[in-house]
A and B are shown apart, each in its own frame.
Chain A
Amino acid sequence: MKFKHLAVSLLIGALFAGTSHAQVKIGVVSSSTGPIAMVGIPQKNTVPLMPTKAGGQSIRYIPLDDGSDPTASVVAIKKLISEENVDAIIGPSGSPNAMGAIQFIAEAGVPLLAPVGTAAVVLPMNEQKKWVFKTTQNDGLIASALLEHMAKTGVKTVGFIGTADPYGENWGKVFAEGAAKKGIRIVADERFQRQDTSVTAQALKVIAARPDVVLIAAPGSPAVLPQLALVDRGYKGKFYQTHGAALPDFLKLGGKKVEGTILAASLMLVLDQVPDSHPSKKIAKGYMAAYEKTYGVTPATFGGNMFDAGLLLEKAIPLALAKGKPGTPEFRSALRDALEQTRELAATQGVYNMTPADHSGFDDRGRELITVSNGTWTLLK
């Protein structure tokens, strides 16, 4: 089996070495079906919009679906590496899926651009994770924006409700660390499931603890449910949400009851209100227009994370081409080095500055404080 794979990859390598215009092959693994399809579908849809040329080479994307299953992600990634001999992989969509894939891409020496939420894929940096780059804001970056706002408005106590998955757990951890530094006390720490039909019990417990504000950490539209439960039970305090709630559906499902919610997310939500001087504005606008033209709907932020991976590669491929031919280990290794040297790359989510220690590379330009006013996202000034 091993030998066969080797033979196949040698054969493919030989084929491409022979042709004059070698092609860069990028594998894409997304979860366009299964429980996290709401994340994976905009990502899959973004693939046809991504750069098709870089440094005079054409880029071919090979998209696969993992059905939100971490095992299937690993199988897809192994397949891309051994059968397609890809130069880099973008994906998978889910945090646990990406965590499981790290060991295999590091072994094969293929750069992985992960559009996932959890910072655990790039932190703490080690020999394996140096092959991973993350195109989403680290939870810590968003959390610090929220915490600063809380501290500024005199918040002393916070109730936390998160999903019982890596997203909610990591947020609970990161937020608790930051809150301790700011002297903000977490008086209730609750968990719920995405498919729960009721979070009344958690809401009651939070209300009983009487926090000044409540932070809800959940990916996608499940973030609405706890907030509605709290409002229905008469909670009057302010609500904070994470970048996971940054979706049109949050407003649709929440209606009047999410008015005044504060969250920090990429500029895509409030693009028209961001000053033109923001380096990401033009790029995000172009991406959203292209997406709307093709699919007739505005893309969720998750699609922007995928698009950014394409932009990172577009910038890194010409540098790597100087060191080797696509399809060779030298090229892949050079591609990784080039990605790590990305400086001031403006993309849809913010501006990337990668360093050997920081493979997410965002700064303050990657987050905006946003509030819901009159049923639309509004930049908080």
Chain B
Amino acid sequence: MDVQIALMLAQDGLTNGAIYALLALALVLVFAVTRVIFIPQGEFVAYGALTLAMLQGGSMPATAWLLAGMGALVALIDGATALRNGQTQKLAGVLGWNVGYPLGLVALLTLLPVKDLPLVAQVVLALAVVVPMGPLLYRLVFQPIASAPILILLIVSVAVHVAMVGLGLLFFGAEGQRTPAFSDANFEIGPLMVSGQTVWVVMASVVLILALYQFFERTLYGKALRATAINRNGARLMGISPALAGKLTFFVAALIGALSGVLIAPITTIYYDTGFLIGLKGFVAAIIGGLASYPLAAVGAVLVGLLESFSSFWASAFKEVIVFTLIIPVLLWRSLTTRHVEEEE
């Protein structure tokens, strides 16, 4: 192996590591705020990428109907609650957001010549379809069992994952999709040939991470989420609604997932079930961060990406084995260095 190959492998590892880092951050965030180990995180990657591919293919993405269906369910549940409590003034908001928005989006997708729109508009539309599923998912599935033990939340999360993969097969079919690159530019840096899309992925990840940092440090909602993560009951006493915190968290997680999907769709072929493996690698990174530390998780993600890239060079048949075996020494090291605290239930 010479320096050039090492550099190329490093570049490849960093690109994948950037995506894993985004997903790891989302996983840490969701776990910290809601105690859910969010296995379906990867599905949002696939949904985002494949919805964009469907839009570009000129067909109505089936995910839009899923959104409408989930919205209708939430409207039914929340509407009934509002009626029972006599809060009729709330009805308009509930209906508007959960029924009006999806239907408006469907109308927009039907009326607009989506196929011929610029890429940016298509990406925005794809995100508009996929991202609201995050908070709707929280409202439908996790909010009713918000105070359940972690194990139950995990089991439910596995169930959601299985359901979403199945729906993905129904919506997108078994074949993979690829979308055109954001830019065809190529940069030569020394001996390295860097494709424009790679730069996009890394830059977008860095920008998103910085934006998240600003969000948590500077905004009221960000601070509310941080407070909930640190002490759920304390935050509640301060007037932070746990339901709102949950929905907001899932919104951010879905946004990160779908955006990651849109970013990597031009680099690789995305299948309806690709997301799981990507999400799992993000999870390994999140574990390195102890499901608590954002910087450690990001470092772990880059580590996973590099390890993956170099191990597929030396022993491609054992790549996954090597990547996932990494979790054992990490867990050992974590359990030896940190004091064990019983989970309070």
Interface residues of A (CB under 8 A from B): 33, 35, 37-38, 40-41, 164, 190-202, 204-205, 208, 220-222, 224-225, 232-234, 247, 249, 253
Contact = CB atoms under 8 A, between A and B. Distances in A.
**Which 7 residue pairs spanning A and B have beta carbons closest together?**
A38-B174, A37-B174, A201-B313, A201-B312, A191-B317, A200-B12, A197-B268
30 contacts: A35-B273, A38-B173, A40-B174, A164-B317, A164-B320, A190-B316, A191-B317, A191-B319, A195-B271, A195-B273, A196-B268, A197-B264, A197-B267, A197-B274, A198-B16, A198-B268, A198-B309, A200-B12, A201-B12, A202-B313, A204-B313, A205-B313, A205-B316, A208-B5, A220-B175, A224-B269, A233-B8, A247-B175, A249-B176, A253-B269
Contact of B309 (A191, A201, A224): A201
A200 B8 contact: yes
Contacts of B153: none
Contact of A221 (B195, B269, B310): B269
B9 A204 contact: yes
Contacts, number: 90
Interface string B311-327: 11100110110000000
B169 interface: yes
Interface of B: 5, 8-9, 12, 15-16, 19, 166, 169, 173-178, 193, 195, 264, 267-269, 271, 273-274, 276-278, 309-313, 316-317, 319-320
Given A38-B175, A204-B5, A222-B176, A195 B274 contact: yes
B201 to A, nearest CB: 10
Nearest to B180: A255
B224 to A, nearest CB: 34
A41 B174 CA distance: 8
Contacts of A253: 176-178, 269
A242 B133 CA distance: 40
A325 to B, nearest CB: 40
Given A190-B316, A221-B175, A232-B195, A198 B5 contact: no
Given A191-B317, A222-B269, A249-B176, A197 B9 contact: no
B178 A37 contact: no
Contacts of A232: 195
A198 to B, nearest CB: 5
Contacts of B177: 253
A253 B266 CA distance: 11
A221 B176 contact: yes
A33 B277 CA distance: 17
A208 B309 CA distance: 16
A225 B278 CA distance: 16
B205 to A, nearest CB: 14
A66 to B, nearest CB: 14
Contacts of A33: 166, 169
A199 B19 contact: no
A260 B329 CA distance: 47
A302 B276 CA distance: 26
A198 B308 CA distance: 10
Given A204-B9, A249-B175, 4 more contacts: A164-B316, A164-B317, A198-B268, A253-B269
Contacts of B193: 234
A41 B176 CA distance: 14
A225 B267 CA distance: 9
Contacts of A233: 8
B278 to A, nearest CB: 6
B8 A192 contact: no
Contacts of B271: 194-195
A37 B264 contact: no
Given A41-B174, A208-B5, A221-B269, A199 B264 contact: no
B19 A197 contact: yes
A232 B176 CA distance: 19
A43 to B, nearest CB: 11
Given A191-B316, A195-B274, A201 B174 contact: no
A195 B277 contact: yes
Contacts of A164: 316-317, 320
Given A195-B274, A249-B176, A202 B267 contact: no
Nearest to B315: A191
A320 B264 CA distance: 55
A201 B169 contact: no
B16 A204 contact: no
A191 B318 CA distance: 9
A38 B174 CA distance: 5
Nearest to B11: A200
> Among B12, B175, B310, which residue has the most Cβ atoms of chain A within 10 A?
B175
